[in-house]
């Protein structure tokens, strides 16, 4: 049981929010405090030259948005911290939903000016379903925004979580003086010039201390005392057990861009956040302290290094210790595989590891063996539950724009589809290829990545489809009749399964009513 200490050291969490609330900037600053980088980058900035570490894809640097989850690990106060920075944009939400299956806790970032936005609501709903503990970080205090109490009310009503403020802002926007930290009983004064260094704080044992008035001014000091008194009266006291049972969420205030309030968040996080948790498999619950190794694939990334056309499968370790060059069972294929160069991550920088423990996220070079949701074990046939897949909502023909590059295009499309960002359908009638995605922005990303990573150009044309339905048949005659009638709308997916691309709600309903021996599934995993 030597790995119990290792398990206790691990903290794996995801950062989620609506686009532009500041998740990637916060990730950068956490890395800065953790000593993983020397200078923090930003997503878009005129004064800071470096782009964010987690946004390493070219398209991310251009657009100033994250389009894929990235993984970063560092050590802080003797704890091994693994951060998963997720995309906020709803067109990439499936990546985020899958990532949430691999984390033990979540930090939700909220923009002080905009309050709780739609994407945040959806993501928190998923966390609550899974009972994942949540910490809230309210960002951008150096800008004008909503009143602290109004914000907390909004969080409680819209997200349905009970909050316990662990820090409290003194003023806001132009009048922003700093943050009082309830957790450590000190005050951080805001100086406002440092984007890359770490701010000073001073301790305060007694709020009645006249030094407080001298430091921040009488009016501010008085307001702070009144507000803190209100907080103590209105909000429940923070207890670690209630947070771990996801009944209460601590709230921190700060400004990630100006490095403000981040250290407090990290210190509290290290202290209260859960170590790796048990995971439900279809067969039984798997606990981290078990001796035998098990893990699952929650994401595949093609071309993490464009020079090598490599594909990496991201695996979360659930139990036991992972050793390099050991035979492990790939449950779906039923064969043993050996991994000679598993890696740990710092976004796109990788380093080879010899062993890994529960809670760690490792990268396994993939030659086409893996799909999202696959399980690897030391021999036991386990299937981890709850890794979602989505039915596409947008459909377009993909055409080759350069006849000489047909091979590159086919390879690129094939690899990008394995990432789970989109699905490929081939029409039975004429063999034309259709790409189905959940969000429309995915098409631009696919086009961009095909051109820049695979040197293949493509163009799109609309395909009028309402929904993709996978067909399961209990009667061959009926299937033959249906195929004859609907041959224009029948396709095969990547794995050769029959799919009906219904052109409207009406025609789908007609098909369901008329062909009673056929079942139409909206997902391929039926």
Query: Considering only CA atoms, which of 56, 30, 72 is closest in space to residue 361?
Result: 72
Per-residue confidence (pLDDT) for residue 27, from 0 to 100: 79
Per-residue confidence (pLDDT) for residue 40, from 0 to 100: 45
Distance CA 61, CA 51 (A): 7
Q: Where in the chain is the domain with CATH 3.40.50.300?
A: 10-72+91-97+104-272, 279-377
Residue 413, both tokens: 């499309």
Q: Are 294 and 276 in contact (CB under 8 A)?
A: no
Pairing of strands 248-253, 162-165: parallel
Helix (H, G, I), strand (E, B) or coil at 109: strand
Residue 365, both tokens: 């070079």
Query: Considering only CA atoms, which of 23, 26, 21 is closest in space to residue 266?
Result: 26
The CATH fold assigned to 394-521 is Alpha-Beta Plaits (3.30.70)
The CATH fold assigned to 10-72+91-97+104-272 is Rossmann fold (3.40.50)
Query: Considering only CA atoms, which of 106, 15, 98 is closest in space to residue 386?
Result: 98
Helix (H, G, I), strand (E, B) or coil at 127: helix
Q: Are 71 and 343 in contact (CB under 8 A)?
A: no
Q: Are 358 and 319 in contact (CB under 8 A)?
A: yes
Angle at 218 between CA 167 and CA 228, to 5 degrees: 30
Q: Round to the nearest angstrom and report the end-to-end CA distance of the chain.
A: 39
Per-residue confidence (pLDDT) for residue 45, from 0 to 100: 41
R_g of the chain, CA atoms, integer Å: 25
Distance CA 141, CA 168 (A): 11
DSSP 201-260: EEE-S-TT-HHHHHHH-HHHHHHHHHHHHHHHHHSPPP-HHHHHTTSEEEEEE-BTTTTB
Alpha helices (H) in 430-526, listed in sequence order: 441-454, 476-485, 505-514
CATH entry 3.30.450.20 includes domain 279-377: no
Q: Are 123 and 96 in contact (CB under 8 A)?
A: yes
Sign of the alpha-carbon dihedral angle for 355, 357, 359, 364: positive
Per-residue confidence (pLDDT) for residue 48, from 0 to 100: 41
Residue 9 Cα distances to 75, 134, 165, angstroms: 9, 19, 26
Q: Are 384 and 296 in contact (CB under 8 A)?
A: yes
Residues of the chain with pLDDT under 70: 1-2, 35-69, 88-94, 192-206, 302-309, 345-350, 386-390, 524-526
Query: Considering only CA atoms, which of 363, 361, 360 is closest in space to residue 352?
Result: 363
- The model's pTM is 0.80
Query: Considering only CA atoms, which of 386, 390, 388 is closest in space to residue 282?
Result: 386
Residue 209, both tokens: 């201390």
Distance CA 461, CA 133 (A): 44
Distance CA 396, CA 215 (A): 62
Query: Considering only CA atoms, which of 95, 100, 88, 151 is closest in space to residue 125?
Result: 100
Element containing residue 265 per DSSP (H, E): helix 262-272
Q: Where in the chain is the domain with CATH 3.30.70.3280?
A: 394-521
Q: Are 368 and 418 in contact (CB under 8 A)?
A: yes
């Amino acid at each position: 049981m030597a790995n119990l200490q290792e398990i206790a050291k691990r903290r794996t969490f995801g950062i989620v929010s609506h686009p532009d609330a500041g998740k990637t900037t916060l990730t950068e600053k956490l890395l800065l405090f953790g000593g993983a980088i020397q200078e923090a980058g930003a997503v878009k900035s005129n004064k800071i030259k470096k782009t964010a570490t987690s946004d390493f894809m070219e398209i991310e640097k251009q657009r100033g948005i994250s389009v894929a989850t990235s993984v970063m690990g560092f050590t802080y106060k003797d704890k091994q911290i693994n951060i998963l920075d997720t995309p906020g944009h709803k067109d990439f939400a499936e990546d985020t939903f899958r990532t949430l299956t691999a984390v033990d806790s979540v930090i939700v970032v909220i923009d002080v000016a905009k309050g709780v936005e739609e994407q945040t609501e959806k993501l928190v709903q998923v966390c609550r379903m899974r009972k994942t503990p949540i910490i809230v970080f309210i960002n951008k205090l150096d800008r004008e925004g909503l009143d602290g109490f109004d914000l907390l009310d909004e969080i409680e009503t819209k997200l349905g979580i009970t909050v316990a403020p662990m820090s409290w802002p003194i003023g806001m926007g132009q009048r922003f003086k700093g943050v009082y930290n309830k957790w450590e009983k000190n005050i951080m004064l805001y100086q406002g010039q440092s984007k890359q260094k770490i701010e000073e704080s001073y301790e305060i044992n007694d709020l009645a201390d006249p030094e407080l008035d001298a430091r921040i001014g009488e009016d501010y000091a008085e307001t702070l005392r009144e507000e803190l008194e209100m907080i103590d009266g209105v909000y429940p006291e923070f207890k670690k057990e209630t947070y771990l049972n996801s009944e209460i969420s601590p709230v921190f205030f700060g400004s990630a861009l100006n490095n403000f309030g981040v250290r407090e968040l990290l210190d509290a996080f290290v202290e209260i956040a859960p170590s790796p948790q048990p995971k439900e498999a279809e067969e039984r619950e798997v606990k981290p302290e078990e001796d035998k190794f098990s893990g699952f694939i929650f994401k595949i990334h093609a071309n993490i290094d464009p020079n090598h056309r490599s594909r990496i499968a991201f695996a979360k370790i659930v139990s036991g210790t992972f050793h390099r060059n050991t035979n492990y069972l790939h449950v779906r294929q039923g064969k043993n595989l050996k991994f000679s160069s598993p890696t740990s991550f710092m976004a796109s920088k990788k380093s080879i590891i010899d062993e890994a423990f529960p809670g760690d996220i490792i990268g396994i070079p993939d030659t086409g063996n893996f799909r999202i949701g696959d399980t690897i074990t030391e021999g036991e046939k386990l299937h981890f539950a709850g890794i979602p897949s989505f039915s596409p909502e947008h459909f377009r023909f993909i055409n080759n724009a350069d006849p000489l590059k047909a091979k590159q295009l086919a390879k690129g499309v094939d690899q990008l589809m394995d990432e789970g960002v989109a699905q490929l359908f081939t029409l039975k009638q004429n063999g034309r290829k259709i790409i189905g995605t959940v969000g429309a922005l995915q098409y631009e990303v696919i086009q961009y990545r095909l051109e820049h990573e695979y040197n293949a150009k493509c163009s799109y044309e609309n395909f009028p489809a309402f929904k993709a339905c996978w067909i399961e048949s209990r009667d061959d005659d009926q299937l033959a009749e249906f195929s004859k009638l609907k041959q224009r709308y029948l396709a095969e997916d990547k794995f050769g399964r029959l799919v009906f691309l219904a052109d409207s709600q009406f025609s789908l309903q007609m098909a369901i009513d008329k062909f009673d021996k056929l079942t139409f599934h909206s997902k391929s995993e039926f």
